[in-house]
Structures are given as C-alpha cells and as structure tokens.
C-alpha cells in the first residue's frame, strides 16, 4: 500500500499547485453559501490561520498538501468576507419620483433608446450616494451625453429585483458587488448641468468607446451595427432581444460576449501582421528577435482592445491568460498550460471573489480547462496525422475546429444549463460555420475600421464587416430554428455545478487512469436534476405570478406588474413552457380549486373564495388572516414580502415550503422588502 501511495505521488508530482485555486474557490463558495454574515473577526482569524498553515506546510513536508489546501480554502473565505466588508451598503431609494443628479459614467445604446449609468448620484439635492444608478432614458430624449457630463433627470427608481424563485439568479448580489444602487427610468428630459472635463484615463476611454459606437451605428444601422459595436467597443445593449436569443439558442452567445475568443483573434492578427512586416525587412529579419517583438506588439494591441471594450471582468480574465501565453512565447515556453490557467484563476479570484458565483467565470474557465487538457491528450494523434503529409493541414484545421467547439461547448454547457435553464444541442456545427467567419473576416475588417477611423475612412471597412455579421446572424437564426435546437433543463440543485466542476477538475488535472474517478462526481452532477422531486407550486416576488404544475402542464396566473422575464420563471424552474390559464381547472369568479397528490390547493380570487379547510391557499391579493387558529398555510403578498419567492412541494404526507429568504439568509446584499414596482431583470 505504501508503495502504491508513493507511486501515485510520483505520478502526480507538480499537480498540487493546479488544485490550489479550486480550494481557494471552495472557501469562497463556503462564504456565499452561509445563511448569515460571519463576524469581521472571522475573516481576519482565517487569514492568520492560512498564513500559519502555509508556514507549517514548509515545516512538515508530509502534511504539506492538506495544509496548503486548507490555507487556500481559509484564504478564499477571508477574501470573500473582506470584499463584502469593503462594498458600500445599500442606499434606500424613494418610492416616488426623484430628481437624480450625478456624473455620467457610461452611455449605452438600447434597441429602443439609451441607458446611462450615473456615478455618485444625489437624490432631490441630498448627499451623493456611494453607489451608481442605471437609468433608461426616454426614447424621444434628444440630449447628447458623454461620459463625465454632470446631468439632472427626474426618474422613478427601485432597487434590484429579488430572485424569481428560490435558488434563482440573484441579481441583488450581482448589483451589490457591481456597486449599483438600483435601476429606473426617466420620466422627464435630461438636463446637462456641466460638460465633462478632459483628462481622466477612464473618462477618455469611455468617451472614445461611445464615439466609435456612434460612428458604427451611422455606417451600419440595425443589427449589424449593434453586433459590430459589441465586438469593437463592448457595448452590447443595442442588440435586439430576438437576435440575442437566436445567438444563445444556436450556441453562439459567446460571440456577443467579448472575451477570450475576441482578444485572441485581435492579438493573433497583430502578431501575424507584425511578424510578417519584420520578415519583409531584411535587416530586422536577420538582426532582431522578430518573434519576441511581434509578441510584444500583440500584447500592446490586446491592452488597447481591453480598454476599448470596457475592461470588464471577462475581458480582463481573457487578457490575463493571453498575457501569460505571450510571456510564454517571449521566453520560449509553452504558450498555454494548466499552470498558467491556475495562476490566472487564482489572481482573479483573489481580486474579485464574487466573480466565482457568476456564469461568465464558470463557463469560460471550464471551457479553457477542457481545451488545454483535451489538446494535451490529442496532440500526439494530431501530430501523427500530418507528419510527412503537409497536404493534410487543411483537414487538421477543420478537425481542430470541431474538437475545439466540442470541448469548449460540452464543458460549459452544464453551467449554462444551471444558470439559464436550457442547453443548446447544435453548438458544434454552428461554431464550425461562425468562428471562421468571425476570425478571418469580421474581426480583421473591424480592426481595419479602427485604424481607418481617424482618417474618416472607417466606412470602407465597416461595410464588408457588416456583410460578415449578416452571415453570422443568418447562421444563428437558421441553427436556432432547427428541430430541438434547445433543451429545457429543470432547476438544478446548488450541488450540481459543484459536482460537475469537481469532476472536470479530476478528469483534466490528474494524470493516468486515476483521472477517470472524475466521472463519478461529473455523472452525479449531471443526473442531479432527475434525482430531486420538483416543487408543485410557485409564487413569485410580490405574488404577481402564481403557477401550479400538474400533469405536465403549468397553470399560470399573473397579476398587474409582472414582467415578461418573470412570466418565464416557471420555464426556468420546471424546464417546460407548456402554459395554460387557471381557468381550465374549473374556476369560479371567487376561487380556483385543484387536488394534487391528495392535497387541496385553492387559489383565492375574492374574499368569498376563502376555504379554511384547504391544505394551502394562494392569492395575488392580501387575505389578512381570514381563518381561525386552524388557518392553513396562506401564501399571499404579505407572506412573499416577508419571505421572498416561494415554492411548495405537495406530498400525501404534507407540504414542503421553500422560500427565497430561507436560501439566501440575512446577508448584506439581500434586500428584505420587495420593490413596490416590479422591474425586468437588467443585464
């Protein structure tokens, strides 16, 4: 046994460092999974304990691995707590219209109108808030705005919306760590108080980004301009919802999320162009290290593209990986490696622990992990395919495209299913068609447009760029229209993505046959949705949506104020959108009655419809405790205001009631009082 352990340790030598970011993430997940906020002293105590564990790891070599893993987990927990402590608390927003005055941080085009982000806003002349506001302007507002302008506008405001069902997307947590106080819409014209003063770095790039986007919209109106602005400036708010849905359903949503693919194309094009130019100059080709110079030029181009697209976390993460790859080219090391990925993950988690909970981090790192590990396994076979047969190079490129699409799409699909409730099935053929068009036509013309823009000749490049974008749009819409292009996935338990991530880590990071052990947690995570009993009832925030799942159908009632996004909550929860109204159950004007698993469910529509003998009563209006001491559970706006969105599982032996507040607990980002005016989710 001892010899087997020693053999295993020798085989996995050097792999411990690859697992340390996973334990860092485990500590972060442990922090966010708590139902209450730990005392600040806990974070500092864990930070000290992690330092002590690291010191002990070097003192006792036999305990090095567990001590380092424990230190990383403690560090992750402490970093998440410190990040929460640094974030400013929620600011109460008025329920009535307020006059908002502040500095414009960003101006984003929408399919209809514009949206502005106002930093350090003051409400009705009060003190400035520590958080920003995002306001949708009136579509007829003619004001010309630039980042840095001081503006004043009368608006209706409200805080971020609560999850639509227990365990759903937590936009309050996302806004809390993004520094957003709330959202709203203008009910009056924007007044320009003071124009921007030049000079600030961030303001310069924000203004340049908006100027480029405006030039693009003039040359390419409609969807091509919206997609071009996304690729060249990172402003993706102008893409219509139906086109965004088509890209998502066809597996091409990553083309609209500026990240690794885009920065890789930009840096690759600049590297190729710089090295070609140096090779054509005889003196430089003979006397200079052209490979290293081209790599530095590519790194500079990547940095400019990073700033031009907003320097948001996905592009920062991608640029960090690209910078490591460029450093490998300069030093003669492998450009892409699991160690480089581990370093990038550790740095990003240490800088912004909350990003681990977002879909962007999970999908991108799982995709890159499987790409690197998959190509490590396939490299010998691919080398043999072209060894001595150069005519097979085109076929190798096609095979690589298929392999890349399969590895990246398959690795990220479970996390997309967890967050969005659906999985795409045709991502491989869609990417085989769309990625070459993006890499060899759309992005090169886009870079040419940026170069020609100072001379006013950008239209010469934007027009052919638009041709390519129309091709991408056609691919997205056609593939999305194929039969069964998307598969609805019912709500997955929180343990599912953890098991899937653990399985992928074991499969990709370990050596030898022992890596096959990762199939166990991976399979358990994929099967988790089928192993849990789904709820039978859903009452959304504010009780504006009440849904009953019965016999494969969803019986739905919505009240005034429910948004289109909230109406789709049953689909995301149950994985089906076969809706019917409650009326088909044989309702009366005062109530609807149904029997589920031997339990009586009553939907109360009027006071005379109250049934104190029911198993459970639901209502979109306040019932004010209409029964005696034997009152059955009542889920109405008063209950939901206290407890958040609620699901109920009906069983012959009783009820299982799960509320949003029971899952999220009392955390700094949880707003206990539901907003008065329901709003759509804001990306």
Q: Domain extents for the chain?
A: 2-86, 98-197, 218-488, 495-531, 537-664
pLDDT at residue 680, as a whole number: 38
Chain-centroid distance, C-alpha 324: 24
Contacts of residue 107, Cβ cutoff 8 Å, sequence gap at least 6: 114, 115, 116, 145, 146, 147, 210
Return d(Cα 421, Cα 163) in angstroms, integer. Answer: 14
**What is the Cα Rg of the chain in Å?**
27
**What b/e sequence results for 190-218 when a residue is b if at least 16 CB atoms lie within 10 Å of its CB, and e otherwise?**
beeeeebeeeeeebebbbebbebbbbbbe
Q: CA 194 → CA 114, 130, 660, distances in Å?
A: 20, 21, 43
Q: What is the pLDDT of residue 390?
A: 65
Q: Give CA–CA dist 86/93, Å, rounded.
A: 21
Which letter does DSSP use for residue 274 in this model? Answer: H
Q: Does 652 have pLDDT greater than 50?
A: yes
Mean pLDDT on 113-122: 91
Residue bearing tokens 């006013």: 456
- Give the containing element (helix H, strand E) for 505: helix 495-509
Q: Nearest 10 degrees: CA dihedral of 203, 207, 209, 211?
A: -170
Looking at residue 36, the DSSP 8-state letter turns out to be B
Q: What is the mean pLDDT of residues 105-115?
A: 85
Whether 593 and 586 have beta carbons less than 8 Å apart is answered as yes
**Per-residue pLDDT, 551:** 74
Please compute, for residue 630, the number of CA atoms within 13 A of its CA located in the half-sphere on the CB side: 5
Q: Could you report the per-residue pLDDT of 535-560, keeping only the tens digit for each?
A: 989 998 888 888 888 877 888 887 76
Long-range contacts, stretch 427-433, CB < 8 angstroms, 24+ apart: 427/250, 427/251, 427/252, 428/251, 428/402, 429/479, 430/250, 430/251, 430/252, 430/475, 430/476, 430/479, 431/251, 431/252, 431/401, 431/404, 431/405, 432/398, 432/401, 432/402, 432/405, 433/475
Residue 525 in this model has a pLDDT that exceeds 80: yes
φ/ψ (deg, to 5) at 391:
-70, -10
Q: Which residues contact 506 (CB under 8 A, 6 or more apart)?
A: 515, 517, 518, 521
Q: Is residue 333 very low, low, confident or very high in pLDDT (cuts 50, 70, 90)?
A: low
CB 613 within 8 A of CB 506: no
598 burial type by CB count under 10 A (0-12 exposed, 13-18 middle, 19+ buried): exposed
Distance CA 138, CA 71 (A): 52
Report the alpha-carbon distance of residue 44 to residue 541 in Å, rounded: 36
CA–CA distance, 625 with 604 (Å, rounded to integer) = 13
Residue in the block written with tokens 């999985």: 423
Beta bridge partners of 537: 548, 648
CB 207 within 8 A of CB 103: no
Q: How far apart are CA 350 and CA 187, in angstroms?
A: 41
Give me the numbers of helices (H) and strands (E) for the chain, helices first please: 24, 18
pLDDT confidence bin for 676, thresholds 50/70/90: very low
What is the tens place of the pLDDT at every residue in 335-373? 667 887 888 889 889 989 999 998 888 988 898 889 888
As a whole-number percent, the residues of the chain with pLDDT over 70 amount to 89
* Cβ-contact 612, 630 below 8 angstroms: yes
Picking from 489, 620, 638, the residue whose alpha carbon sits closest to that of residue 562 is 620
Mean pLDDT of 46-59: 72
> 139: part of which helix (H) or strand (E)?
none
Which of the four pLDDT bands, split at 50, 70 and 90, describes residue 134?
Answer: very high
For residues 515 and 301, what is the distance between their CA atoms, to the nearest angstrom?
39
Closest CA to 634 of 610, 658, 662, 650: 610
Round to whole Å and give the CA distance between 205 and 312: 13
Note the pLDDT tens digit of each residue in 28-47.
Answer: 999 999 888 888 777 777 77
For the whole model, what pTM was predicted? 0.85
pLDDT for the residue 392: 63
- Name the phi and psi angles at 220, rounded to 5: -130, 85
Mean pLDDT value across the chain: 84
pLDDT above 50 (res 410): yes
pLDDT of 560 reads 67
Kindly report the backbone phi and psi dihedral angles of residue 559, in degrees, each rounded to the nearest multiple of 5, phi listed first: -100, 170
Least reliable range by pLDDT among 306-320, 415-429, 448-462, 650-664:
306-320
Position 485 pLDDT exceeds 70: yes
Q: What is the mean pLDDT of residues 269-280?
A: 88
The more confidently predicted of residues 89 and 58 is 89
Contact partners, residue 289, CB within 8 Å, separation at least 6: none
Local structure of 39: helix, strand or coil? coil
Alpha helices in 157-281 (DSSP H): 171-178, 201-219, 223-233, 241-249, 260-280
**pLDDT at 674 (0 to 100):** 45
pLDDT tier at 208, thresholds 50, 70, 90 = confident
φ, ψ dihedrals at 647, nearest 5°: -120, 150
| Whole-angstrom distance, CA of residue 597 vs CA of residue 357 | 36
> What letter would DSSP give residue 583?
G
Count CB-CB contacts under 10 A for residue 251: 29
The larger pLDDT score, comparing residue 626 to residue 127, is at 127
Could you give the CA distance from residue 102 to residue 97 in angstroms, rounded to a whole number? 16
330 and 500 Cβ atoms separated by less than 8 Å = no
> Which residues fall within 8 angstroms of residue 223, CB to CB, at 6 or more apart?
239, 240, 243, 469, 473
Beta bridge partners of 154: 99
> Hey, what are 672's tokens?
């206990």
pLDDT at 638 over 50: yes
**pLDDT tens readout for residues 436-481:** 999 899 999 999 999 999 898 898 999 999 999 999 999 999 999 9
Check residue 665 and give left, alpha or beta (phi > 0: left; psi -120 to 50: alpha).
left
Instruction: Report the DSSP beta bridge partners of residue 250.
Output: none
Q: What is the pLDDT of residue 677?
A: 40
Of residues 507, 536, 465, 569, the one with CA closest to residue 223: 465
Tell me, rounded to whole angstroms, the distance of Cα 243 from its chain centroid: 18
pLDDT the model gives residue 540: 87
Chain Cα centroid distance, residue 290: 39
Is 90 exceeded by the pLDDT of residue 205? no
Dist CA 256 CA 244 (whole Å): 8
State the burial class of residue 455 (Cβ atoms within 10 Å of its Cβ: 0-12, 13-18, 19+): exposed
Report residue 152 as tokens. Answer: 């004043």
Three-state DSSP state, 631: coil
Q: How many CB atoms lie within 10 A of CB 307?
A: 18
pLDDT band at 681 (very low <50, low <70, confident <90, very high): very low
| Most confident range, picked from 99-113, 173-187, 316-330, 340-354 | 173-187
Q: Which tops the pLDDT comparison, 46 or 256? A: 256
Are β-strands 599-604 and 616-619 bridged in parallel, bridged antiparallel, or unpaired? parallel
Q: Can you tell me whether residue 211 is helix, strand or coil?
A: helix
């Amino acid at each position: 046994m001892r010899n087997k352990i020693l053999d295993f340790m020798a085989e996995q030598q050097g792999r411990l460092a690859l697992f340390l970011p996973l334990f860092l993430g485990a500590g972060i997940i442990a922090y966010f999974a708590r139902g209450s906020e730990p005392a600040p002293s806990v974070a500092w105590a864990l930070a000290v304990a992690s330092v002590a564990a690291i010191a002990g790891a070097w003192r006792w070599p036999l305990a090095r691995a567990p001590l380092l893993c424990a230190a990383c987990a403690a560090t992750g927990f402490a970093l998440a707590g410190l990040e929460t402590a640094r974030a400013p608390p929620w600011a109460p927003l008025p329920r009535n219209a307020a006059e908002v005055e502040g500095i414009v941080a960003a101006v984003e085009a929408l399919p209809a109108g514009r949206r502005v982000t106002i930093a350090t806003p003051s409400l009705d002349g009060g003190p400035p808030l520590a958080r920003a506001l995002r306001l949708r302007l009136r579509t007829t507002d003619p004001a010309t705005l630039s980042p840095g302008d001081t503006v004043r506008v009368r608006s209706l405001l409200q805080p971020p919306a609560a999850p639509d069902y227990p365990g759903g997307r937590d936009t309050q947590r996302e806004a809390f760590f993004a520094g957003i106080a709330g959202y709203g819409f203008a009910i009056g014209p924007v007044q320009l108080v003071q124009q921007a003063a030049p000079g600030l770095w961030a303001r310069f790039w924000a203004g340049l980004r908006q100027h480029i986007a405006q030039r693009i919209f003039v040359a390419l109106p409609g969807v091509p301009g919206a997609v071009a602005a996304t690729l060249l400036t990172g402003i993706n708010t102008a893409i219509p919802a139906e086109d965004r849905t088509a890209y998502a359903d066809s597996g091409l949503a990553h083309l609209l999320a500026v990240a690794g693919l885009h920065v890789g194309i930009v840096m690759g094009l600049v590297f190729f162009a710089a090295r070609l130019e140096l090779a054509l100059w005889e003196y430089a080709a003979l006397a200079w290290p052209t490979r290293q110079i081209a790599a530095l030029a590519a790194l500079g181009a990547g940095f400019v593209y990073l700033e031009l697209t907003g320097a948001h976390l996905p592009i920062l993460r991608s640029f960090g990986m690209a910078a490591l790859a460029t450093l490998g080219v300069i030093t003669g090391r492998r450009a892409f490696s699991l160690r480089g990925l581990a370093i990038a993950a550790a740095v990003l988690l240490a800088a912004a622990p909350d990003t681990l909970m977002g879909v962007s981090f999970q999908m991108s790192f799982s995709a890159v992990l499987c790409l690197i590990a998959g190509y490590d396994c396939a490299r010998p076979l691919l080398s043999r395919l072209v060894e001595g047969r150069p005519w097979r190079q085109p076929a190798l490129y096609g095979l690589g495209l298929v392999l890349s699409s399969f590895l990246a799409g398959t690795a990220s699909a479970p996390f997309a299913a967890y967050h969005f409730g659906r999985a795409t099935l045709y991502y491989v053929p869609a990417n085989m068609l769309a990625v070459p068009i993006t890499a060899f036509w759309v992005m090169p013309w886009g870079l040419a447009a940026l170069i020609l823009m100072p001379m006013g000749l950008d239209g010469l490049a934007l027009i052919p760029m638009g041709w390519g974008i129309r091709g991408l749009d056609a691919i997205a819409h056609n593939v999305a229209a194929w039969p069964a292009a998307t598969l609805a996935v019912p709500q997955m338990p929180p343990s599912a993505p953890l098991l899937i991530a653990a399985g992928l880590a074991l499969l990709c990071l370990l050596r030898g046959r022992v890596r096959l052990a990762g199939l166990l947690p991976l399979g358990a995570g994929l099967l988790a949705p089928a192993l849990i009993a789904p709820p039978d009832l859903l009452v959304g925030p504010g009780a504006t949506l009440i849904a009953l799942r019965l016999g494969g159908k969803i019986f739905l009632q919505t009240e005034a104020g429910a948004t289109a996004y909230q109406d789709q909550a049953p689909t995301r929860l149950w994985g089906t959108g076969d809706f019917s109204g409650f009326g088909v159950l044989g309702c009366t004007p005062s109530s609807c009655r149904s029997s589920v698993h031997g339990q009586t469910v009553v939907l109360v529509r009027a006071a005379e419809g109250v049934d104190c003998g029911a198993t459970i009563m639901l209502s979109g209006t306040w019932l004010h405790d209409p029964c005696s001491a034997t009152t059955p559970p009542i889920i109405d706006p008063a209950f939901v205001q206290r407890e958040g969105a609620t699901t109920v599982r009906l069983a012959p032996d009783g009820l299982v009631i799960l509320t949003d507040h029971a899952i999220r607990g009392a955390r700094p980002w949880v707003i206990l009082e539901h907003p008065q005016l329901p709003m759509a989710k804001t990306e």
